[in-house]
Amino acid sequence: MPAPSPRPQISALERYHSPQVDVPVRLNTNESPFDPPAAWLAEIAAEAGNLRWNRYPDRSAHRLREALAVRHGVEASRIFAANGSNEVLQTLLMCFAGPGRNVTVFEPTYQLHSHIARTLGSEVIAVARREDFTLTPDDVRAAVRPGACDVVFMCSPNNPTGICESRATVRVAAEAAAEAGALLVVDEAYAEFADWSAMEMIADAGADVAANVVVSRTFSKTWSLAALRLGYCVASPAVVECLEAAVLPYHLDAFKQAAGLAALGHDDDMRRRVAAIVSERDRITAAMTRLPLRLWASGANFVLFRPEIPAAGLWRELVDRGILVRDCGSWPGLAGCLRVTVGTPEENDAFLDALSACLGRGQ
Ligand SMILES: *Cc1c(COP(=O)(O)O)cnc(C)c1O
């Protein structure tokens, strides 16, 4: 008897995953190397005892959304929260992409944008960045044309290059999306590491591009909460209504709502961790500049580099020395590239020692 066959879009896909290799120093998925604050843990432990576990959670997650709204100076009707920003992106694409619609990405960029678009049957339009992975306002203007685009992704700082897009580039993308009747999704998973955010373009609900731009954020990286699976976006109320209609009922569990709300009370702690990571990032960048490799200056918590020797061999040698980085070699435009996440000072020392030794510059 024939086995059930998935839709062709699904069988054609490679699974998106990062190898979970068990080594002492894991610098491959851009997580924070630091624990969230102990006080937060105590708060949510107490909260777990107060929850009404027999009841469905607040479907509208209104306390969490209120707090996020205050944080960004917008109305709560403009916030949508979900299980990680990946679910935010998936829900956006369920509403605005899918069969008969297209999704524009600027490669190399975050692989999940095109991956989710394909799982939903959308056409993916991959536009190549310049050789140095930058993108100018003119490049964007040429790619986002009226009548030709449904959804456009920008990622700033961009994973995996680390490059922060300029205000001018994102501004042109927003204007072009507005003219084209398209949705621009600015993925700001690393926003707190950057010195500006596209939120400023849409904070005012009456801004000319506010109906066409969505900015997504996550608790996974800067908030040290990858295990919590919580992300959100700021969008127009009309877009949020679509997202609420498409997402499963009660998708955000009560504990997660409480834990996210509690985390927002520890903003100072988050900023201290971000500052520590930025200073470590600058230290490893300076050290790597002296090695035989090309690197891209990063505005996030990772550094992309291309060693002069074959990257796959170097990746293996680093694993043998107990250090896991990301091999980006199979991603569009990234042949020969590896990406290292900034870890603790000790982990970064271990990485730099191993890298120097592998590249023949060990002491
Ligand atoms: C890590 C990452 C995310 C992640 O998402 P969560 O689902 O919130 O963990 C989204 N976008 C980019 C660009 C990322 O690097």
Tens of pLDDT, residues 73-92: 999 999 999 999 999 999 99
114: helix, strand or coil: helix
- Asked if 45 contacts 53 with a C-beta cutoff of 8 angstroms, the reply is no
Asked if omega into 6 is within 30° of 0 (cis), the reply is: no
> Is residue 192 lining ligand 1, measured as CB closer than 6 Å?
no
42 contact partners, CB below 8 Å, separation of at least 6: none
What's the gap between Cα 349 and its chain centre? Answer: 26
Give 108 Cα–ligand 1 centroid separation in angstroms: 15
- The sign of the dihedral angle between the CA atoms of 204, 207, 212, 218 is negative
Count how many residues are written for the chain: 363
pLDDT at 196: 95
Query: Relative to the CA of 110, which ligand 1 atom is closest?
Result: 13
The closest residue, in CA terms, to atom 1 on ligand 1 is: 189
pLDDT tens per residue, the chain (363 residues)?
888 888 887 877 766 666 778 899 999 999 999 999 999 999 999 999 999 999 999 999 999 999 999 999 999 999 999 999 999 999 999 999 999 999 999 999 999 999 999 999 999 999 999 999 999 999 999 999 888 899 999 999 999 999 999 999 999 999 999 999 999 999 999 999 999 999 999 988 888 999 999 999 999 999 999 999 999 999 999 999 999 999 999 999 999 999 999 999 999 999 999 999 999 999 999 999 999 999 999 999 999 999 999 999 999 999 999 999 999 999 989 999 999 999 999 999 999 999 999 998 654
- Asked if 256 contacts 244 with a C-beta cutoff of 8 angstroms, the reply is no
What's the gap between Cα 220 and its chain centre? Answer: 9
Following DSSP, what letter does each residue of 297-324 receive, concatenated?
--SSSEEEEEESS-HHHHHHHHHHTTEE
The closest residue, in CA terms, to atom 11 on ligand 1 is: 189
> Is residue 111 lining ligand 1, measured as CB closer than 6 Å?
no
Ligand 1 pocket: which of 220, 256, 328, 339 to mutate (most atoms within 8 A of CB)? 220
Q: What is the torsion angle, in degrees rounded to the nearest 10, for the CA atoms of residue 227, residue 229, residue 230 and residue 235? A: 140
> Is residue 162 lining ligand 1, measured as CB closer than 6 Å?
no
Look up residue 327 and give its two tokens. 């091999």
Amino acid in the structure at residue 245: A
- Asked if 217 contacts 185 with a C-beta cutoff of 8 angstroms, the reply is no
> Is residue 90 lining ligand 1, measured as CB closer than 6 Å?
no
Output Rg (C-alpha) for the chain, integer angstroms. Answer: 21
- Asked if 51 contacts 43 with a C-beta cutoff of 8 angstroms, the reply is no
User: Which stretch of DSSP H or E encloses residue 341?
Assistant: strand 338-341
Asked if omega into 157 is within 30° of 0 (cis), the reply is: yes
Give 185 Cα–ligand 1 centroid separation in angstroms: 13
pLDDT at 363: 43
Q: What distances in angstroms separate CA 186 from CA 157, 170, 189, 192, 310, one per listed residue? A: 10, 8, 9, 14, 33
pLDDT at 96: 98
Query: Relative to the CA of 30, which ligand 1 atom is closest?
Result: 1
Please tell me the distance from the alpha carbon of residue 315 to that of residue 222, in angstroms, as a whole number.
Answer: 26
Give 204 Cα–ligand 1 centroid separation in angstroms: 25
Please state whether 253 falls in left (phi above 0), alpha (psi between -120 and 50) or beta. Answer: beta
- Asked if 318 contacts 25 with a C-beta cutoff of 8 angstroms, the reply is no
Amino acid in the structure at residue 206: G
Query: Relative to the CA of 231, which ligand 1 atom is closest?
Result: 8
Query: Relative to the CA of 85, which ligand 1 atom is closest?
Result: 8
Give the model confidence (pLDDT) of 322-348 as tens digits: 999 999 999 989 999 999 999 999 999
